[in-house]
């Protein structure tokens, strides 16, 4: 076999440089232009667009649908799309998803929010997290199948849940058993961001105390919420994430109404005592949540989903099958678009459902 030799740029000694110290490309040949790769990556991402999927979980009436609307109406998408969200309250945990393609400066993002109306609404909430666990795992399974096709799509449609926003009622007490049970289970398979819903019902002091108590409770119960310390990539990341960890859970307020404040239209809740401005950091932490999800940690949430949660699922599934990867691909999954292996699963129908709409 032909040996592949790495291309090494050998610095040639010159009067001014010699061989001492670090020799950079531009010292020797002028501008090489490696940084142009950033432009190439940018152009590719812009062309392809990307998918980001958020799931909202919490009991009925905690303001999930309102917050989804707030997210779509706030600066994330105010200019670029109009919400067409239809809410149907169901008393069982029935998952509904709504997607918007948001375009900003030529970058396209398909933002999907999966709502879970009815979670924890039963008198007996035993195992109420099961439909949610199943949904998350089904999306991993779907992705795994796509990966195992012999002829894979150039881009696998990504329906995996990149983040689960968990709504805590603003009781001012402690975590309830249902919160502990849910987050313990889901924290192992998906990134969880807990928030205090309807935070306008607490005073500022109550908010701070409640937040602190929740952090203690999370720790005491071994619940892992996003961003986890062990996934910090470098000291810079750690400093940024420490600030977020000190501030979690964000105390948020949601609304789907706009009001005039000092001649500006703002998203807010009008009360007898004034307007609570949702996007004003002095009033609530909605912007912290939005910035974490969309501005600062979107790519990291996608990376953690792919490299940690999906990888764990993948390894378990491949081990479970007791076959080699090759064997699994041949026997359990369709071999290529449209054809099935010996015990072919429902790969074809799954594929058409998960087709990317970007």
Closer of 87 and 206 to Mg ion (Cβ): 87
Closer of 211 and 314 to ligand GDP (Cβ): 211
Torsional sign, CA 346, 349, 352, 354: negative
Q: How far is the CB of 200 from ligand GDP (least distance, A)?
A: 5
Number of H helices and E strands in the chain, helices first, is 12, 9
Closer of 256 and 291 to ligand GDP (Cβ): 256
Q: Using CA atoms, how far apart are residues 68 and 81, in angstroms rounded to an integer?
A: 14
Q: Contact between 62 and ligand GDP (CB under 6 A)?
A: yes
Q: How far is the CB of 73 from ligand GDP (least distance, A)?
A: 13
- Residue with CB nearest ligand GDP? 63
Q: How far is the CB of 166 from ligand GDP (least distance, A)?
A: 12
Q: Using CA atoms, how far apart are residues 275 and 264, in angstroms rounded to an integer?
A: 13
Q: Using CA atoms, how far apart are residues 303 and 107, in angstroms rounded to an integer?
A: 19
Q: Contact between 61 and ligand GDP (CB under 6 A)?
A: yes
Binding ligand GDP (rule: CB under 6 A), the pick from 73, 110, 142, 198 is 198
Binding ligand GDP (rule: CB under 6 A), the pick from 11, 28, 46, 60 is 60
Residues 6+ apart with CB under 8 A from 15: none
Binding ligand GDP (rule: CB under 6 A), the pick from 52, 57, 64, 135 is 64
Tokens at 244, concatenated: 């977020």
Q: How far is the CB of 65 from Mg ion (least distance, A)?
A: 3
Q: Are 163 and 113 in contact (CB under 8 A)?
A: no
Q: Are 70 and 278 in contact (CB under 8 A)?
A: yes
Closer of 241 and 255 to ligand GDP (Cβ): 255
Residue 104 carries which DSSP code? Answer: E
User: Which residues ranging from 218 to 277 are in contact with ligand GDP (CB under 6 A)?
Assistant: 253-254, 269
Q: Contact between 331 and ligand GDP (CB under 6 A)?
A: no
Tokens at 51, concatenated: 């998918």
Q: How far is the CB of 69 from ligand GDP (least distance, A)?
A: 8
By CB under 5 A, name the binding residues for Mg ion.
64-65, 117
Closest CA to 251 of 190, 164, 171, 163: 171
Cα–Cα separations (whole angstroms), residue 168 to 100, 154, 179, 280, 327: 26, 40, 8, 21, 45
- In the complex, the residues that contact ligand GDP under the rule CB under 6 A are 58, 60-66, 198, 200-201, 253-254, 269
């Amino acid at each position: 076999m032909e040996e592949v030799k790495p291309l090494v740029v050998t610095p040639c000694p010159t009067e001014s440089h010699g061989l001492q110290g670090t020799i950079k490309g531009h010292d020797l040949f002028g501008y090489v232009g490696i940084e142009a790769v950033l432009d190439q990556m940018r152009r590719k991402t812009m062309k392809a667009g990307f998918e980001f999927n958020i799931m909202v979980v919490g009991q009925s009436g905690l303001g999930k649908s309102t917050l989804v609307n707030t997210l779509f109406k706030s600066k994330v998408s105010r200019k670029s799309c109009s919400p067409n969200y239809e809410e149907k309250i169901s008393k069982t945990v029935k998952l509904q998803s709504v997607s918007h393609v948001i375009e900003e400066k030529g970058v396209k993002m398909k933002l999907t929010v999966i709502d879970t109306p009815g979670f924890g609404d039963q008198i007996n909430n035993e195992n109420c997290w099961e439909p949610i666990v199943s949904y998350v795992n089904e999306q991993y399974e779907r992705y795994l199948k796509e990966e195992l096709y012999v002829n894979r799509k150039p881009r696998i449609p990504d329906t995996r849940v990149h983040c689960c926003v968990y709504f805590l009622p603003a009781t001012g007490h402690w975590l309830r058993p249902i919160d502990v049970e849910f987050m313990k289970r889901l924290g192992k398979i998906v990134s969880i961001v807990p928030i205090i819903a309807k935070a306008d019902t607490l005073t500022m002091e109550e908010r701070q105390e409640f937040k602190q108590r929740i952090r203690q409770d999370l720790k005491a119960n071994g619940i892992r919420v996003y961003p986890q310390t062990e996934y910090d990539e470098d000291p810079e990341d750690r400093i940024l994430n420490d600030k977020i960890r000190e501030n979690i859970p964000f105390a948020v307020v949601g609304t789907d109404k706009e009001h005039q404040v000092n001649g500006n239209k703002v998203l807010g809740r009008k009360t007898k005592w004034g307007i609570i401005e949702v996007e004003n950091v002095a009033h609530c932490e909605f912007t912290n949540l939005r910035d974490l999800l969309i501005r600062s940690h979107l790519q990291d949430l996608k990376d953690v989903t792919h490299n940690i949660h999906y990888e764990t699922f993948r390894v378990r599934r491949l081990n479970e099958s007791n076959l080699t990867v090759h064997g699994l691909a041949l026997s359990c999954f369709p071999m290529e678009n449209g054809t099935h292996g010996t015990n072919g699963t429902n790969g074809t129908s799954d594929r058409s459902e998960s087709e990317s709409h970007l």
